[in-house]
Structure 1
């Protein structure tokens, strides 16, 4: 009888590690999945375990994570899976990910326009930086000045951890994307506009 061997991809292995660590943290902290994911991602970036009571469970997972031969895109896709899981568990109007088809399309457009030249780029509703880092991963140059803006404190933390895990330099602003941004003019502005209740109606009226 022929033996069937199921191969585990790097993305699925990374997701399994991140998911297990997040579930341990979620149970220990009695928090929601996304908050626990944020702590997990930050812990991986800093190589630091904040929840000492479950250090014996998290340390082997962290070691497995860093033993993987991974690309920045592998990290983005694995975090994308974890983010989708968390957003489905606790739906909120502005907690949605850009579909990968749009990430690939917009990344291709920016790559075609920029070529191998250095460029700057801004996402004024960056969320967890899935779109922004996906575009950066498709670029033909590493000389990119990237900026991201978001009013959601949890999403901006996730964006920072996401970018750092991928070793991408992204300057993040925790503010409303419709208000003045303290950044120089950029070559490209990309955005997957959030759909939901806009918290600052006065600013929205001025813009419209």
Structure 2
């Protein structure tokens, strides 16, 4: 390592090299070994770790994860949520929940935990209790190692996020929804967004699960395909959302983050209804500009603030 390296770069290099060395020794996947490498640094290289801020640590993990993905073919659900998406999502949680000093935050289909880590970093002045639900055993183990490495509290539940969940109502649900078909028809038939015939959409079922997990007036911040309100089953989805929640905002993420328009994602913000209370909201529909254009981004913030003033003046 050279002297010029920043603390974050030193941490990244250490994680990257140790994960590759462990992989040679034990033959387990590089991602699995990144978890073990974080544990080794946490246990044996305290001096290096203690020089690093939370952001240094998270970025070192992110870069190591992306570096290892280049060397290993992984399935789509092993990708991590980019920090640009996590940071804007965290910013929006902060905006909507500005009067909360502590929050119970659930991350459904949480993967390696990077989205929760990024949200935690943004909400540094709020006490957060994180519940992460992830069915993939490798990823749920990595998220436990990540929590230790970042020294932030994650409760990790290694289970299918569409199955019944073992905790009380959340203030906030975040999720970067995996897209696809859910194979367990017996479970989807118990749910309102399950289809009568064939496999149901896992992303629909996770929207239902997100709303069910919230306490009344709680918020879901969901990364969804931009075309989610198009296609054959969309009336079922719209009707469910209208019955159970107030749709607050549908915000298109910057197109520069995606390979093509078909892959583009948006942020869907929903508030769970309170029994017998109607809060009519004019849905905020907007494009989030590229973060590299500060002037346009300021314009978006102004639009958001104006909308909050009109629709959430109590905040």
TM-score (norm 1): 0.81
Distance 1:94 1:201 in 2: 21
- Indicate how the Cα distance of structure 1 residues 9 and 197 shifts in structure 2: closer, same or farther if over 3 A, else same: farther
Q: Within 5 A, what are the aligned runs for 1:143-158?
A: 143-158=127-142
Report what 1:26 is aligned to: 23
The equivalent residue for 1:159 is 143
Cα RMSD, aligned residues only = 2.3
Match of 1:65 in 2: 48
- C-alpha separation between the residues in 1 aligned to 2:69 and 2:5? 25
Stretches of structure 2 that go unaligned for 5 or more consecutive residues are 195-315
Q: Please name the residue that 1:10 is paired with.
A: 7
Greater relative contact order (CA < 8 Å, ≥ 6 in sequence): 1
Q: Which residue of 1 aligns with 2:35?
A: 38
Sort the Cα spacing of 1:154 and 1:90 in 2 relative to 1 into closer, same or farther, 3 A.
same
**What's the CA shift string for 1:90-135, capped at 9, x where partnerless?**
2213111111211110010112223361111000111111000110
CA contact (8 A) 2:109 2:161 kept: yes
Change (3 A) 1:197 1:33: farther
Larger relative helix fraction: 1
C-alpha displacement at 1:145, in angstroms?
1.1
**What SS class does the counterpart of residue 133 from structure 2 fall into?**
strand
User: Structure 2 vs 1, CA of residues 91 and 161 (structure 1 numbering), >3 Å: closer, same or farther?
Assistant: same
Work out which of the residue numbers 85, 94, 107 in structure 2 matches 1:102: 85
Whole-angstrom distance in 1 between the partners of 2:89 and 2:7: 24
Answering whether residue 120 of structure 2 is matched by residue 136 of structure 1, we say yes
Displaced runs of 4+ in structure 1, greater than 6 A?
none
1:93–1:196 CA contact under 8 A, matched in 2 = no
Which of these two proteins has the greater Rg computed from alpha carbons? 2
* Cα separation, 1, equivalents of 2:184 and 2:59: 32
The 1:140/1:20 distance shift into structure 2, 3 A limit, reads: closer
Structure 2 residue 83 is matched with structure 1 residue 86:
no
SS in 2 for 1:122: strand
Cα distance in 2 for partners of 1:72, 1:65 equals: 13
Higher strand share: 2
Q: 2:94 aligns with which of 75, 95, 111?
A: 111
**CA contact 2:144–2:156 (8 Å) conserved in 1:** yes
TM-score, structure 2 normalization: 0.55
Question: After superposition, where does 1:186-197 map in structure 2 within 5 Å?
Answer: 186-196=170-180
Count of residue pairs brought into register by the alignment = 189
For structure 1, the residue ranges without an aligned partner over 5 or more in a row are 49-61
Contact 1:118-1:141 within 8 A present in 2 as well = no
Q: 1:42 Cα deviation (Å)?
A: 2.5
Confirm or deny: 8 A CA contact 2:16 2:67 kept in the other structure.
no
Task: Give the C-alpha shift of residue 205 in structure 1.
Answer: 5.0
